Amino acid sequence: MRTPLSWMVTVVGVASLAGPARAELALDWSGFVTGAYTFNVNEPADDTNHGRVFDTEDNTFQVPLAELAVGGAVDAGPGFNLVLNFGDVADTIHSTGLVDDVNGFDIQQANVTYKGFTFGKFATLHGAEVIESPSNMNYSRSYLFGFAIPFTHTGLLYATEVGGIGLKGAIVNGWDNFEDNNDSKSLMAMVAVPLGEKGSVSAAGMYGAEQAANEGDMRGLLDLVASFSPSERVDLLFNFDYGSEEHAALDGGDGVWWGAAAYADVMLTELFGVAGRAEFFSDRDGARGLDTDVWEATVTGHQAFGESMTGRLEARYDQAADDLFMDGDGSLTDSQFTLATEVIVRFP
């Protein structure tokens, strides 16, 4: 996984009315811009790659995401984190009730931290993949990322560590809600266990009412992630999700969704590597909008051009148990093949 470069600035000022004192404000900022192009071999009549979450547009050059992240802390006191997103991704992850009339912009995270507590808007604890493309093995996102889990939360999060085991708990407004859509809050918890110096395994759960103006029908989620790096050039990743929700199925009954994904990223040289993902996702009840089972396999070659630029070429094949995708004549079909390229530029 790659992390954008950061720049540290120290600001010295007066922090006490009783007399001069030095308060150091350390600012850490970073960002990136991504450009991408996707071609769907089906050439769908509606120019849409069905079943995708970010790379939805066929035969179109895009700037999916530009991000600016700023964080800081005053001495050992409170800190803050602000992450601003621009582009098509910002529209997709946008939380209900937050700057609803601004297109192509989203405040992905805005929170304050102190002594293990985080209050405000923050990225979800769940999943093997994240919103930021540079931190993922592949360009396209998995079905698990797009349909099984939330993107962000607004609420209160507490994180600590006991005997090397990471523990987190949170109370939030719900899935992708800046303003709660009902009178009930949702609970989250996570346990992360290191596997020596080469890996880790985590289990996270969430439970609460998520339907608008409905406090009775509950949604639950279990998310498992395991990572292992047997060598400096090989990274392995596994993700499993299981979710259910009362009265969320298309027929009015309870809905269940689940799936698993396995990843591998192998660096063949210091600058060039190949990543792969194999995945199955089931949404037979239609609770997450697919109403079928899907499989996908993705291969992504990535080349670093110095520390600030990365290029990717990706091939992906999707197969569904039912007709989910579209052909050039507007008819539906059960498979889809896409080719994509992405360029990532990090700053500073």
Residue 26 maps to a domain: no
The maximal CA–CA distance of the chain, rounded, in angstroms, is 76
Overall number of domains in the chain:
1
Residue 2 maps to a domain: no
Residue 6 maps to a domain: no
Give the pLDDT band of residue 77 (cuts 50, 70, 90). confident
Please say if the pLDDT value at position 12 is more than 60. no
| pLDDT for res 8 | 30
Name the region of 109 (left: φ>0; alpha: ψ -120 to 50; beta: rest).
Answer: beta
Please say if the pLDDT value at position 15 is more than 70. no
Mean per-residue pLDDT, 23-47: 93
CATH of the domain at 269: 2.40.160.10
Alpha helices in 1-60 (DSSP H): none
**Neighbour-count burial of 195, counting CB atoms closer than 10 A to its CB (0-12 exposed, 13-18 middle, 19+ buried):** exposed
Residue 161 maps to a domain: yes
Please say if the pLDDT value at position 11 is more than 70. no
What is the rounded CA–CA span in Å between residue 76 and residue 73? 7
Looking at every residue in the chain, the average pLDDT score rounds to 92
What is the rounded CA–CA span in Å between residue 124 and residue 131? 10
Convert the pLDDT of each residue in 222-277 to its tens digit.
999 999 999 999 999 999 999 999 999 999 999 999 999 999 999 999 999 999 99
Residue 21 maps to a domain: no
What are the C-alpha distances in Å from 231 to residues 221, 224, 277?
Answer: 32, 23, 19
Residue 147 maps to a domain: yes
Domain that holds residue 130: 32-66+111-347
Convert the pLDDT of each residue in 290-313 to its tens digit.
999 999 999 999 999 999 999 999
- H or E segment and range at residue 93: helix 88-93
Give pTM, 2 decimals.
Answer: 0.92
Convert the pLDDT of each residue in 79-131 to its tens digit.
999 999 999 999 999 998 887 777 899 999 999 999 999 999 999 999 999 99
What is the rounded CA–CA span in Å between residue 311 and residue 301? 8
Residue 307 maps to a domain: yes
